[in-house]
Structure 1
Amino acid sequence: MKLEQYAEQVVSRLPCSKWEKQDVKDELMDHLNSMKSELVEEGYEEQEAVLLTIQRFGSTKAISRQLSESMPLIDKYIRKWVMTLFFLYVAISSYLLLLSPDRFRRRAFTVEWKQRMLEYGVPQYTHLFQNTKPFQTLVDYVYHYDNYSFGTVMYNLIGNVMLFVPLGLLLPLIFMSFQSVHRVFFLTLSASLIIETLQLLFSLGSFDVDDLLLNVLGGLIGYGMFRVGAALIRKRRNNNKFDDDLSASSF
């Protein structure tokens, strides 16, 4: 067997893209050729050096298994696309939550409302766009559902949850440091708090602590989806490992 064929058999079993496989193959070939050159310098014939190099590296299945176990869930080429998707998600979310024309129409109404309340001498009504009591808005949706349209309720409940699902899902895929539920929780909470505060300060929306709860729930759901996906990927890799061991033991 030639070194090129040996390297090709090793990378053919790896759970990654063809571009990543080519990178691994190139690196593996560098190591193989380096060892072969050392053996030739020691006095071995070319063919003997190739056979001894393959023997020292081990079986292709064993090398493939070791490389597979050390690889991240997604390789660097797929990670680039996930990173692009993440930045697109951040841009769209920022637009919807802070920069959309609808936000500025609401801002005009909010500013006008606050000015009128101050002129009427009832400044307490300028705080209608704030809720700092947990579950107050959620309970209001339940007990006074007839005051709201179905679309409004779904937009505020489901929308606040779904908007942060990609954050909890994509972050652990891109950054290994975020493969922790605690870090995802605190980052989601911080991001939601910043957005709610900006909406309050610039009158682009209301500050609602229930939105924080729903946003964090969405981030945790996204993280849960990541954990399930990661478990399925690792299970598949372990099954492939078991199949390799089973086929090897049959000879």
Structure 2
Amino acid sequence: MKLEEYAERVVNRLPCSKWEKQDVKDELMDHLRSMKSELVEEGYGEQQAVSLTIQRFGPTGAISRELSESMPLIDKYFRKWFMTLFFLYVAISSYLLLLSPDRFRRRAFTVEWKQRMIEYGVPQYTHLFQNTKPFQSLVDYVFHYDHYSFGTVMYNLIGNILIFLPLGLFLPLLFLSFQNMHRVFFLTLSASLIIEALQLLLALGSFDVDDLLLNVIGGLIGYGMFRLGAAMIHRRRKSIRFDDDLSATPS
């Protein structure tokens, strides 16, 4: 067996893109050639050095299995596309939560309302767009749903969950340091708190502590989806059969 054929058998069934397989094969060939050169320098013939190199590296199936288990969930060639989707998600979310025309229409109304309340001598009503009592908004939407349109309820309940769901999914998928529920929780909470604070300070919306709760729930659901998907991928990889081949007869 030639070194090229040996390396091809190792990478043939790896669970990754063809480009990643080629990278793994090139790296493996560098190691194989290096060991073969050392054996030739020790006095072995060309064919004998090839055979010994293959024997010392071991069965192709065993190496393939080790490489498969150590590979990331997505290889670097697909990772760049997921990274692009992540930045696109951040841009769209920022637009919807802070920069959309609807936000600036709300800002005009909020600023006018606050000015009126100050002029009328009731400044306490300038805080009408703030809710710092946990579950107050949620209870209101659930038990007094007839006071709101269906779209308003869905936007404020389901929308606040869905807008942060991709964050909990993308973070652990793209960054190893975020494959931890606590880190995803704190980052989701921090991001939601920053957005709520900006909406309040810039009069682009209301500050609602229940929005923080729903945003965090969305992030944790996304993280749960990541864990479920990762478990399925690992299970599939373990089910792949890598046949051992110790043939060392040079061709």
What does residue range 174-185 of structure 1 map to in structure 2 within 5 Å?
174-185=174-185
CA displacement 1:40-59 (0-9 Å, x = unmatched): 11111111111111111001
Counterparts in 2 of 1:47-62, with a 5 A limit?
47-62=47-62
For 2:170 and 2:140, the matched residues in 1 are separated by: 33
Give me the whole-angstrom Cα distance separating, in 1, the residues matched to 2:161 and 2:50.
58
| Partner AA of 1:88 in structure 2 | L
Q: Which runs of 4+ in 1 moved over 2 A?
A: none
TM-score (norm 1): 0.95
Residue 90 of structure 1 is matched in structure 2 by: 90
Counterpart in 2 of 1:214?
214
The more displaced of 68-77 and 31-40 is 68-77
More helix by share: 1
**Corresponding position of 1:116:** 116
Q: Describe the superposition over 1:132-177 as per-residue Cα deviations: whole angstroms up to 9, x where unpaired.
A: 0000001011221111000110011110000000000000011010
Matched residues, percent identical? 84
- What per-residue deviation string (whole Å, max 9, x for no partner) do you get for residues 106-140 of structure 1? 10000000000100011111111000000000101
Deviations 1:29-80 (A, max 9, x none): 0000001111111111111111111111001100101111111111111111
Looking at structure 1, the residues matched to 41 and 141 of structure 2 have their Cα atoms a distance apart, in angstroms, of: 80
1:10 corresponds to which residue? 10
Distance 2:63 2:191 in 1: 43
Amino acid at match of 1:31: H
Listed one character per residue, the Cα deviations across residues 84-109 of structure 1 (whole Å, up to 9, x for unaligned) are: 11111101000000011110011000
- The structure showing larger relative contact order (alpha-carbon pairs under 8 Å, at least 6 residues apart) is 2
- RMSD over aligned CA atoms reads 1.1
**In the alignment, residue 128 of structure 1 is paired with which amino acid?**
L
2:155 aligns with 155
Which secondary structure does the structure 1 equivalent of 2:72 belong to?
coil
SS at match of 2:184: helix
Output the TM-score relative to the length of structure 2: 0.95
Q: Which amino acid aligns with 1:228?
A: L
